[in-house]
Chains A and B, each alone.
Chain A
Amino acid sequence: DTGTLAHDLPNYLREHRGEKSDCSLRPFPVSFAQLGWDHWIIAPHRYNPRYCKGTCPHLLRYDYHAPNHAVVQSFVHQLVDASVPRPSCVPYRYSPISVLMIERNGGILYKEYENMIAESCTCR
């Protein structure tokens, strides 16, 4: 079955390209007021962390940056045992944001926090 899928890859990809439910990066701007943190985070007022959502395809394309284990697990789910879950759509790369905060002692803190915005998604 795996060999058949790989042989028929061009048709397979053509059929499944463009599905809205495919694993992809989605915007979701959020304000710190919504999180209840606006009483001590001065800036920014809002930012867009984004999120990953969607179904990981059976055949994981190279642009999903999926580890080999996820590729194997996808085949196991499809061909061997459906109780083994399919890989999940999760963030792959992140970027930082800068935050300005009031500290407990009245000081003011500027800080860059890593991994605050999702920049791409993967299946794993």
Chain B
Amino acid sequence: NQSPLPLGSLPAVPTLPLLQALQMRAPGSPGWQVGPASGQPLRYMLNLYRRAADREGRPRRSRSLGTNTIRLVQASSNGGQPWAGRWYLQALTYNLEGQPEAEHLLRATVVYLPSLSVAHSRLLCTLELVVAGEAPRVLLSPTARSRHGWAEVDVTPYLVLGNSSVGSLALRHVCVRAGRAGGHDAPVAPGHPFLLLYLNDTQAGLAPPAAEPHRRRR
């Protein structure tokens, strides 16, 4: 849906390339609610941004991210009750459809907290890759850890098959509550891990390509 959207107090003139590109990305009118983007994913991206750029948005060359685009994709879950006693098992899906053609994938990682304090105990978490049609799941090991406790798992090989890209990524978030048992408080669910796509935008600009549809994945 690429119908023109109002942007502040812009006059009704033929859309400039910059504004057209921004309209394609903008969520909508000023009253649009940005519910899902909050909490841990937003804090993570804000920290990433502060490391990468100064207060006026100038990229810090001394701390280059190595790419010009990083997209955080939030997980969707099928609902239901993920808790079974001490165990937390949540199936997650990351939709990768609709990525712009000009953005080429360099690397993909899933970021999660392997350990977090909840109430009087501790949650220890890990991730499993769900491959369609295969019963055994692949246990994913973190490839990097940050000082804020985040762990990153490289999932690039699972997103790119040959010359094409997959349409979605399926994982299972598995946690176990360690420490004292008991307590009648409702268990606190950990935040969903999020997917980071490190992309190279070959257009390197705001002007959208002429009449190019978003890439359709097989």
Q: Which residues of A contact B (CB under 8 A)?
A: 29, 35-37, 39-40, 42-44, 46-48, 95-117
- Chain B neighbourhood of A104, CB < 8 A: 25-28
B10 touches A36 (CB 8 A): yes
- Chain B neighbourhood of A107, CB < 8 A: 37, 71-74
A-B contacts counted at CB < 8 A amount to 115
- Chain B neighbourhood of A48, CB < 8 A: 56
- Chain B neighbourhood of A29, CB < 8 A: 56
A110 touches B7 (CB 8 A): no
Smallest CB separation, A57 vs chain B (Å): 30
Q: How many residues of B contact A (CB 8 A)?
A: 42
B37 touches A106 (CB 8 A): yes
In B20-41, which residues have CB < 8 Å from any A CB? 22, 25-28, 30-32, 34-37, 41
SS class, residues of chain B in contact with chain A: loop
- Chain B neighbourhood of A105, CB < 8 A: 74, 95
Smallest CB separation, B13 vs chain A (Å): 15
- Chain A neighbourhood of B30, CB < 8 A: 36, 39
- Chain B neighbourhood of A98, CB < 8 A: 49, 52-53, 57-59
- Selected contact of A108 from candidates B8, B41, B68, B204, CB within 8 Å: B41
Smallest CB separation, B97 vs chain A (Å): 10
